[in-house]
Amino acid sequence: MNKLNVKPADGKLGIMVVGLGAVTSTFFTGVLMARKGLAKPVGSMTQYDKIRVGKGEDKKYLSYYDIVPIAKLEDIEFAAWDVYPADAYRSAVYAEVLQLKDIDPVREELEKIVPMKAAFDKNFAKRLDGDNVMEGKTRWEMVEQLRQDIRKFKSEHNCSRIVVAWAASTEIYVPVNEQVHGTLAALEKAMKDNDTTHIAPSMCYAYAALAEGAPFIMGAPNTTVDIPAMWELAEKMKMPIAGKDFKTGQTLVKSGFAPIIGTRCLGLSGWFSTNILGNRDGLVLDEPENFRTKEVSKLSTLESILMQDKQPDLYTDYFHKVRINYYPPRNDNKEGWDNIDIFGWMNYPMQIKINFLCRDSILAAPLLLDLCLLSDLAARAGRYGIQRFLSFFLKSPMHDYTKGEVPVNHLFQQYTMLKNALREMGGYEADEEID
């Protein structure tokens, strides 16, 4: 085994999250509770998963941190931006995801996490109405303020490294515009010209993070880093980017179940997915323009798993529809229904029904942890630009669509990509094929 040149995880890792709602407050609380030995970080691959390295007599199964240097939970410092001024404790209580008995033991630590003023534009999230926002700033001034926030937090908390992640609400759909999003120079000009149509607030966070030498993770389906200009900035700054949209409930099921249909060579007539959700995310997605962003993300999963060009008899013209319904009584306890119409021998029809009663933030919190720790690892390993090995954690994996690249949405192929990247960074052979 040849150890590669991966820098050690020395010092503190600052994790700065955009949005201090249900997901983020659950994430912060869980990590702080786990550090005290009062909770288990169940669902986190970095904390629990073991993968094989070596073959034959050299074969062994190791935890991630035995293969590569991953930051310890004890070394993490937290910060957040949010349109609402409530600290992380009040946010966790308000979200009603966790019981008080699972929040109060770390109340003191949570109360110290007071959100910084958000770079916000109500036109991109009409249902949000907070007043903890930057007033009267142009897009470029937002970038400068965010860069200052990052520098200040890093200095005051003595962090050696920073990761920035978006866990805020979905913005309205921003189509890729080649004139604005095609090059870094064009993007910077649009920001300085205060182009409030093509430059979403999330782009200001991503630009600020990368400019400050911090990896950026997009946990919503926003266009943000899925544009050539941001890829250029990530390459220029030698920083990793990952996105988009945390793969939590229904899409996790879809990316894992669709391969069953494909591998068994069964046909698909239609796949109808609907959700009910009552948290802040559900409220924002009740706005059609915001839902459009999510819909594009969720619809992309099947098309790269069950492909017409590979199996025209089985996957030609199937009907795929996705719905999200805002339903306040359910709060964070999302429910997803999938009706799948398939056909088998001699085209005889069959049906599959899946009903997933999940807890959105309970599934998202460990994803956020893993994405932050693995993005930090990637930066220390000298990996930059789009991190395709993190596709496992994301609904709509980033890819270079300008060159016709097809994203990998097949869950088990994504898992192979993840394992191979860890093997390579750990100095082992990447010995699994993605067929």
Domain boundary assignment for the chain = 12-246+361-425, 250-359
The average pLDDT across 311-332 equals: 91
pLDDT of 256 above 70: yes
Residue of 376, 87, 358, 141 lying closest to 239 (CA atoms) = 376
Residue 62 pLDDT: 98
Alpha-helical (H) ranges within 240-334 are 250-263, 280-285, 288-303
| CA distances for 267 relative to 307, 308, 309, 322, 408, angstroms | 11, 11, 14, 20, 20
The correct answer on CATH 3.30.70.260 for the domain covering 250-359 is no
Please name the helix (run of DSSP H) or strand (run of DSSP E) that holds residue 52, with its range, or none. strand 50-53
Packed helices 360-380 and 22-35: angle between N→C axes, nearest 10 degrees: 70
Residue 196's pLDDT band (cuts 50, 70, 90): very high
pLDDT of 127 above 90: no
| Percentage with pLDDT > 90 across the chain | 84
The average pLDDT across 91-103 equals: 97
Packed helices 201-211 and 139-156: angle between N→C axes, nearest 10 degrees: 50
The whole-model pTM stands at 0.93
Helix (H, G, I), strand (E, B), or coil: what is residue 312? Answer: coil
The correct answer on CATH 3.30.470.30 for the domain covering 12-246+361-425 is no
Residue 126's pLDDT band (cuts 50, 70, 90): confident
